[in-house]
Amino acid sequence: VRNTSHVRRLVVALEGAVVRLANDANGNHVVQRCLEALPQEAHFIFRAVAAEVVVVASDRHGCRIVQRCIEYARGHDRGLLVG
């Protein structure tokens, strides 16, 4: 996804569902792909995971998302996750 309007629609569609997707057997793959394909727009993922880090990290699928977020996050975003 490279079209700016498509990226924005994707972010809006996923914003409220990050934690649920992260803890889902299939949904966590969606979150991982967003982290890989949309690094400039991934702030919404970092914020959602940081807000519910215990819930996400305690799940067998979600813990992988926490690892990926720490791997991809930089600066302030990383501070939200590990600070």
The pLDDT value recorded for residue 70 is: 97
> Which of 56, 58, 70 is closest to 28 using CA atoms?
56
Q: Quick check: pTM over 0.75?
A: yes
What backbone torsions phi and psi does residue 18 show, to the nearest 5 degrees? -60, -50
Q: Angle, to 10 degrees, between the axis of helix 43-51 and the axis of helix 62-72? A: 130
The pLDDT value recorded for residue 56 is: 98
Tokens, residue 76: 């302030």
Q: Give the DSSP H or E segment for 50.
A: helix 43-51
Tens digit of each residue's pLDDT, the chain (83 residues): 678 889 999 999 999 999 999 999 999 999 999 999 999 999 999 999 999 999 999 999 999 999 999 999 999 999 999 98
The pLDDT value recorded for residue 1 is: 62
